Amino acid sequence: MTDAGQLHDKPLRVAIAGLGTVGTGVIRLLRENAALIEARAGVPIAITAVSARDRSRDRGVDISHIAWEDDMTAMAARDDVDVVVELVGGSDGPALVLARQALGRGKSFVTANKAMVAMHGMELAEAAEAGNAALKFEAAVAGGIPVVKGLREGAAANRIERIYGILNGTCNYILSAMESTGADFAETLQEAQALGYAEADPAFDIDGVDAAHKLAILAAIGFGSRIDFSAVACTGIAAVRAADIAQADVLGYVIRLIGMADMLDGEPGAVGEAKLLQRVRPCLVHKRHPLAHVTGPTNAVVAEGNFSGRLLFQGAGAGDGPTASAVVADLIDLARGDTYSPFSVPTRAMEAVPAADPGGRMGRTYLRFTVTDRPGVLAEIAAAMRDAGVSIESLNQPALSENAGGEALVALVTHEGEERSVTRALELLEGSDSLTGPPLVMPILKDRG
Ligand X SMILES: N[C@@H](CC=O)C(=O)O
Ligand Y SMILES: NC(=O)C1=CN([C@@H]2O[C@H](COP(=O)(O)OP(=O)(O)OC[C@H]3O[C@@H](n4cnc5c(N)ncnc54)[C@H](O)[C@@H]3O)[C@@H](O)[C@H]2O)C=CC1
Partner touching 138 among ligand X, ligand Y, Na ion, none, CB below 5 to 8 Å by kind? Na ion
Beta sheet of 45-51, edge-to-edge order: 67-68, 45-51, 12-17, 83-86, 108-111, 135-136
> In the bound complex, what is the minimum distance in angstroms from residue 300's beta carbon to ligand X?
12
For Na ion, which residue of 178, 254, 324, 326 counts as binding (CB under 5 A)? Answer: 326
DSSP assignment of 335-374 equals HTT----SSSS-GGGPBP-PBPPGGG-EE-EEEEEEEESS
> In the bound complex, what is the minimum distance in angstroms from residue 286's beta carbon to ligand X?
23
Partner touching 168 among ligand Y, Na ion, ligand X, none, CB below 5 to 8 Å by kind? ligand X
> In the bound complex, what is the minimum distance in angstroms from residue 51's beta carbon to ligand Y?
6
Instruction: Give me the long-range contacts of 97-104 (CB less than 8 A, separation at least 24).
Output: 97/73, 98/17, 98/72, 98/73, 99/124, 99/127, 99/135, 100/124, 100/127, 101/73, 101/76, 101/77, 102/75, 102/76, 102/133, 103/127, 103/128, 103/131, 103/133, 103/135, 104/76, 104/131
Contacts for 293 with CB less than 8 Å, ≥ 6 apart: none
Quick check: 169 and 317 in contact, CB under 8 A?
yes
> In the bound complex, what is the minimum distance in angstroms from residue 330's beta carbon to Na ion?
9
For ligand X, which residue of 131, 165, 169, 315 counts as binding (CB under 6 A)? Answer: 169
25 binds ligand X (CB under 6 A): no
> In the bound complex, what is the minimum distance in angstroms from residue 316's beta carbon to ligand Y?
9
Q: Is 214 in the active site?
A: yes
Angle at 345 between CA 339 and CA 350, to 5 degrees: 135
**Given the complex with ligand X, which of 200 and 312 has the nearer CB atom?**
200
Which parts are annotated binding residues for L-homoserine?
A: 199
Site for Na ion in 120-139 (CB under 5 A): 138
**Given the complex with ligand Y, which of 199 and 228 has the nearer CB atom?**
199
By rule CB under 6 A, what count of residues binds ligand X?
11
Helix (H) or strand (E) holding 109: strand 108-111
Which parts are annotated binding residues for NADPH?
A: 114
**Given the complex with Na ion, which of 81 and 142 has the nearer CB atom?**
142
For ligand X, which residue of 131, 150, 222, 317 counts as binding (CB under 6 A)? Answer: 317
318 binds ligand X (CB under 6 A): yes
**Given the complex with ligand X, which of 129 and 199 has the nearer CB atom?**
199
d(C-alpha 110, C-alpha 83), whole Å = 7
DSSP assignment of 28-61 equals HHHHHTHHHHHHHHSS-EEEEEEE-S-TT---SS
Contacts for 123 with CB less than 8 Å, ≥ 6 apart: none
The residues binding ligand Y (CB under 6 A) are 18-23, 51-53, 72, 87-89, 94, 112-114, 139, 143, 196-197, 199-200, 318-319, 323
255 binds ligand X (CB under 6 A): no
d(C-alpha 117, C-alpha 136), whole Å = 10
For ligand X, which residue of 48, 73, 108, 168 counts as binding (CB under 6 A)? Answer: 168
170 binds ligand X (CB under 6 A): yes
Partner touching 200 among Na ion, ligand X, ligand Y, none, CB below 5 to 8 Å by kind? ligand Y
d(C-alpha 323, C-alpha 48), whole Å = 21
22 binds Na ion (CB under 5 A): no
Q: Which residue is nearest to ligand Y (CB)?
A: 20
d(C-alpha 95, C-alpha 141), whole Å = 17
User: CB under 6 A: which stretch of 100-108, 145-153, 165-173, 177-185 binds ligand X?
Assistant: 165-173
> In the bound complex, what is the minimum distance in angstroms from residue 144's beta carbon to ligand X?
10
Torsion angle in degrees (nearest 10) through CA of 365, 370, 372, 376: 0
**Given the complex with ligand X, which of 199 and 228 has the nearer CB atom?**
199
- What string marks each residue from 174 to 203 as x (binds ligand X by CB under 6 A) or -? -----------------------xxx----
Which parts are annotated binding residues?
A: 17-24, 114, 199
**Given the complex with ligand Y, which of 176 and 370 has the nearer CB atom?**
176
Which parts are annotated binding residues for NADP(+)?
A: 17-24
**Given the complex with ligand X, which of 24 and 414 has the nearer CB atom?**
24
Of residues 107, 149, 214, 446, which has the active-site annotation? 214
Backbone angles phi, psi at 355, to 5 degrees: -75, 140
Q: Which of 416, 411, 413, 377 is nearest to 397 (CA)?
A: 411
Q: Which of 344, 312, 297 is nearest to 163 (CA)?
A: 312
Quick check: 392 and 415 in contact, CB under 8 A?
yes
Active site residues per annotation: 214
> Which residues are at the interface with ligand X (CB under 6 A)?
143, 168-170, 197-199, 205, 210, 317-318
